[in-house]
Structure 1
């Protein structure tokens, strides 16, 4: 039934398609770029279509290559999954999770000890970056937790947390008297409309636009640094309810005028379709979806 399938060529094509480079595929498979080129050409001859558009500078997938790549990726993923199920149960299982540094440090890591306790056999490795990993091309990442503004039809998605933005401060913080300056901790945020969430928008909604005339801004590029400044008593911070949750639970910060909210994104667990059935991915997904912001 499968005697004529060019398995070696299929694996070479999948690697080159996912990585976007014959050279990178050669490094991944520990063969020469010429061997990858030969495998791709043999697969093109087998199928009777061109899978890559070639130039003197680079290669890129053709329309037919774009159609084939996701099917082949899922098929090889299923084979890998089937082989993994036969591995000895004592073998350590690795899981790579991609997310932003802020979400990792402020939400995920404080809760991760519970997962380690429930699943000591799974070695969780965090890939934290503000750059979005292309899960279709980078097979080393098993799943990601992202703040999404709209669904990605190419990924399997499970909603985790709805986000909004509000003002937070140390317990006992008092608003300024009329004409007095107010210390506002400022950090770049995005809303569900892909527009900046800032103090001007919050003050307009809270009817405190007068604050902006005398505001003393404490500006930070990273969300976790802004929250640390608020915990240290450096002013009022405009923050994500998701990222501030741990500080609120610990009593380090409280909401100021919590009825004033600005729309945010939705934190979502995503992976390449088919990977959600892997033992480690399913275990982590079920665990993280069972958590909440408290």
Structure 2
């Protein structure tokens, strides 16, 4: 492992390179200007290369200096970000929300501005996860599945119905009220077969007879499936409430008629031990209220 130079020399160089003067660097680090000069000289001696071109005024960084500054900018930037997050957590102003990626992309992100406006003093951290991944810890947890015992709230409705883009319907001479599922490409999600409605289970639950011969496009994430539907590639299934932003703007059309009812859905809860924490509880109630409208 390569031996690293002393931290005091690196911080002195980083401050001087950013500010452009030793005086400003000294003020930032609360030391004397000669001390900054000595630290940079020691760093250059350690590296055996000049970091500043002192043959002109004002001095400029050498190529070695530019390379080091670039590396330090990334490293110190990560440190500054981590320190800021640690301080915010220590002050109780960070709330982490974990949710399935489809819920994050199509329900939470369209409402993120409202959520931040409602809690201006709280840093909200969003973690999305794909189906099948281990549940990652969060202060507010949104999961998809069957209801479980405990303190949790069901979000969104229980209806599952087909949706397609107006472009796709128009190309086939169909509409949201007049359509033929047997002549449409069915968009599916491979992980749906164990915990979500796929098309065979939807046809059974909705009491619709399925005709054979549909073209099928299979995806490994709901986000990909929705993007394919928006691009006019076929018809997909939607849980009531998930794609409201697209339905309201007309980017998606709900196919009227049969729909399935499922006891599975999105459930909201606070991580064990944090239910009484005020910011967590307030954000949990905000999401629950929005989800049940």
Give TM class, smaller chain: 0.5 to 0.7
Q: Is the 8 A contact 1:92 1:121 kept in 2?
A: no
Number of aligned positions between the proteins: 193
Query: Per-residue displacement from partner, 1:17-59 (whole Å, max 9, x unpaired)?
Result: xxxxxxxxxxxxxxxxxxxxxxxxxxxxxxxxxxxxxxxxxxx
Q: What does residue 160 of structure 1 align with?
A: 155
Q: Is the 8 A contact 1:158 1:268 kept in 2?
A: yes
Query: Per-residue displacement from partner, 1:71-113 (whole Å, max 9, x unpaired)?
Result: xxxxxxxxxxxxxxxx99xx57111111111111111111011
Q: Is the 8 A contact 1:245 1:293 kept in 2?
A: no
Between 200-209 and 279-288, report the one with greater CA deviation: 200-209
Q: What does residue 291 of structure 1 align with?
A: 290
Displacement after TM superposition at 1:283 (Å) = 1.7
Write the distance in 1 (CA, Å) between the matches of 2:113 and 2:232.
Answer: 29
* Root-mean-square deviation over aligned CA pairs: 2.9
Give the alignment of 1:220-239 within 5 angstroms: 220-239=219-238
Q: Is the 8 A contact 1:99 1:127 kept in 2?
A: yes
Displacement after TM superposition at 1:266 (Å) = 3.1
From the two aligned structures, give the one with the greater strand fraction: 1
TM-score, normalization by structure 1: 0.57
Q: What does residue 143 of structure 1 align with?
A: 140
Write the distance in 1 (CA, Å) between the matches of 2:292 and 2:230.
Answer: 18
Q: Is the 8 A contact 2:163 2:237 kept in 1?
A: yes
From the two aligned structures, give the one with the greater helix fraction: 2
SS in 2 for 1:277: coil
Q: Is the 8 A contact 1:230 1:236 kept in 2?
A: yes
Structure number with greater Rg is: 2
Q: What does residue 116 of structure 2 align with?
A: 116
Displacement after TM superposition at 1:271 (Å) = 2.1
Write the distance in 1 (CA, Å) between the matches of 2:129 and 2:101.
Answer: 6
